[in-house]
């Protein structure tokens, strides 16, 4: 085998040298496309074009569309867990009522910062028949975040506090679902409720509603 052929085979599958991968831009483009088109109809080529990168670079880094999708879910999970843990440390010495208010505000801000990701998750959970992606959502994002938040709420509330007769786990699921649904449909509901166009005011009111569930 010639040296030229060996070099060619060693480099097969690798993208050409050029612009480095902008992970933030790529993940934003991926979330937008997955939310709009669904996983099956979303295209790596279109995601690459929107992010301004070579599609071969995406394939090389993540292996497949599912690999990119999983990386996006992992990134959001890591950010959420990091922020909630940091909030726990920051609020440790505050009165319980203030801790709960801070937790609700933080969760609304997190969900509100990524309305398309909330839309993506709702679509996957409600309409997708793909059990592998649902299992990934549960394993990588839903379960670790839910368990951490549930522990936070129970620690702040204490064993004998909270709405009588209301399950804490259901309260948490209802709160997250409510906020995720509202932020992902905000642009539509501005037609019915002009106040929805004021993002800061909307987030403040959602945090108050979330707080009432606990």
Domains of the chain: 13-63 (1.10.10.60), 70-212 (1.10.357)
Of 135, 143, 134, the C-alpha closest to 176 is 143
Three-class DSSP category at 33: helix
Instruction: State the pTM of this model.
Output: 0.82
Cα(214)–Cα(212) distance, integer angstroms: 5
Query: Between these two residues, 129 and 18, which has the higher pLDDT value?
Result: 129
Residue 155, CA distances (Å) to 87, 93, 150, 167 in order: 14, 13, 8, 15
Whether the CA torsion 164, 170, 173, 178 is positive or negative: it is: negative
Q: Give me the pLDDT at residue 10, please.
A: 40
Give yes or no for a contact between 89 and 152, defined as CB atoms under 8 angstroms apart: no
Q: Which residue has the tokens 């950010």?
A: 79
Model confidence at 140: pLDDT above 90: yes
Q: Give me the pLDDT at residue 38, please.
A: 92
Number of helices and strands in the chain (H, E)? 12, 0
What pLDDT band is residue 193 in, cutting at 50, 70 and 90? confident
Q: Give me the pLDDT at residue 161, please.
A: 62
Q: Give me the pLDDT at residue 11, please.
A: 41
Of 144, 157, 149, the C-alpha closest to 179 is 149
């Amino acid at each position: 085998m010639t040296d030229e052929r060996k070099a060619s085979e060693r480099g097969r599958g690798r993208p050409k040298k050029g612009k480095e991968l902008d992970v933030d831009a790529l993940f934003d483009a991926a979330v937008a496309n997955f939310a709009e088109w669904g996983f099956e109809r979303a295209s790596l080529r279109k995601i690459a074009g929107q992010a301004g990168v070579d599609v071969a670079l995406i394939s090389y880094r993540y292996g497949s569309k599912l690999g990119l999708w999983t990386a996006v879910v992992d990134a959001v999970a890591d950010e959420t867990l990091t922020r909630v843990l940091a909030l726990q440390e920051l609020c440790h010495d505050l009165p319980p009522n203030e801790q709960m208010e801070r937790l609700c505000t933080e969760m609304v801000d997190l969900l509100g910062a990524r309305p398309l990701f909330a839309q993506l998750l709702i679509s996957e959970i409600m309409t997708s028949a793909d059990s592998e992606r649902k299992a990934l959502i549960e394993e990588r994002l839903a379960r670790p975040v839910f368990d951490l938040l549930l522990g936070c709420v129970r620690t702040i509330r204490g064993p004998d506090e909270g709405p009588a007769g209301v399950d804490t786990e259901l309260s948490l699921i209802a709160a997250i679902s409510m906020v995720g649904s509202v932020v992902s449909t905000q642009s539509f509901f501005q037609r019915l409720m002009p106040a929805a166009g004021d993002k800061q005011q909307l987030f403040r009111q959602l945090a108050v509603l979330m707080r009432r569930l606990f």
